[in-house]
Amino acid sequence: MLRTDPGTFDAMQARALELGTREGGAIVSGILDAIEALDEVVAPQAIHLGLGWARGSVRFLALDLLAARDPEAARHRAAADPDQKVRGWTPRRPRERITSAGETDSRPRADERGHPVPRNAQAMLFPE
C-alpha cells in the first residue's frame, strides 16, 4: 500500500499505534520494508517509529535501515536497547547475486524501466 501511495504513511502509522504491539508491529515492519517509497523527510520518521517499537523484531529492521544512513548511530542505539537480542545486533551485509558471467553483483535490482525492484519482490507470471 505504501509503495503505491507514499502519502498513506501517516494513516498507516496511526493504525499501527491503535492496534498495539503485535499487530501494529506487522504494519510498522511493512512500512520499513517499503522505506524506499518514502521521501527523505518521511523515511527518517519511519525509522524512528521502528526504533521505538516494543517488539525487538521491528527494532532489528529499523536498526538495519539506520545503519545504512548512520552506522555509528545504529551501533549506539543497539548497544543501549533493553532487549539482549537487540543489543547483539550486527548490520546485515547486502546480498550478492551471481551474474551470468559467474561474477558477484551486489547492486540493487532494477526492472526493465530502471525502477528499483524490492528485495522481496516476486516475479510476475504475466508482466504488464
Note the pLDDT tens digit of each residue in 3-56: 889 999 999 999 999 998 999 999 999 999 999 999 999 999 999 999 999 999
What is the model's pTM? 0.70
CA distance 11 to 53: 17
H-state helical runs in the chain:
9-19, 21-33, 42-51, 56-69, 71-79, 84-87
In a 13 Å sphere around the CA of 17, the CA atoms on its Cβ side amount to 9
Site of grid cell 547483539:
88
pLDDT range class, residue 127, cuts 50, 70, 90: low
Check residue 122 and give its pLDDT.
54
